[in-house]
Amino acid sequence: MRTVMAGIPAVFGLFVANALLTGIGDTITPMRLMAVSTGLNVLLDWLLIFGVGPFPAMGVFGAAVATISAQGSVAMFAFYLLFSGRLRVRLRVGDLRLRWSAVRQIVSIGVPASVGQAGTALGFTIMASFLARFGTPAVSAFTIGNRVISIVLMPAMGLGQATATMVGQNLGAEKKDRAARSAWSGMAISSAILLTAAVFVYIFRTPLVGVFLEDPEVLALAQPMFALVALAFPFMGVLQVCIGAYQGSGHTIYSMFFSLFRLWGVRIPLVWYLGVVRAMGPLGVWWAMFISNLVASIVSIGIFLTGNWKHRVIKERQLPADPAPPEMVELEAPVETPRPLQR
CA distances from 28 to 70, 132, 140, 170, 269 (A): 19, 41, 35, 20, 41
Classify residue 321 by its DSSP letter: P
CA 10 to chain centre: 19
In whole angstroms, give the CA distance from residue 95 to residue 303. Answer: 37
Sequence-separated (6 or more) residues with CB below 8 Å from residue 20: 82, 89
Determine contact, residues 248/168, Cβ cutoff 8 Å: yes
- Dihedral of CA atoms 179, 184, 190, 195 in degrees, nearest 10, equals 180
Torsion sign (Cα): 262, 263, 264, 269:
positive
Judge whether 134 and 281 are in contact, CB under 8 Å: yes
pLDDT above 70 covers a percentage of the chain that reads 92
Please list the ranges in the chain whose pLDDT falls under 50: 318-343
Angle (nearest 5°) at CA 46 between 59 and 144: 80
pTM of the complete model: 0.75
Helices and strands, number each (H, E), in the chain:
13, 0
What does the alpha-carbon distance between residue 316 and residue 271 come to, in Å, rounded to a whole number?
A: 46
Nearest residue to 48 via CA among 72, 34, 64: 64
Which residues have CB under 8 Å from 70's CB, separation 6+? 37, 38, 40, 41, 44
Q: What is the pLDDT of residue 315?
A: 67
Q: For 214, which DSSP code?
A: -
Name the strand (E) or helix (H) holding 167.
helix 154-172
C-alpha Rg value of the chain to the nearest Å: 25
Q: Is 99 helix (H, G, I), strand (E, B) or coil?
A: coil
Give the other-Cβ count within 10 Å of 340's Cβ: 6
The per-residue pLDDT for 316 is: 56
CA distances from 219 to 82, 223, 288, 328 (A): 48, 6, 19, 69
Contacts of 211 (CB under 8 A, 6+ apart): none
Contact call for residues 263 and 285 (beta carbons, < 8 A): no
* Backbone φ and ψ of 153, nearest 5°: -80, -10
Residue 154 pLDDT? 87
The whole-angstrom separation of Cα 96 and Cα 186 is 34
Position 54: which residue type?
P
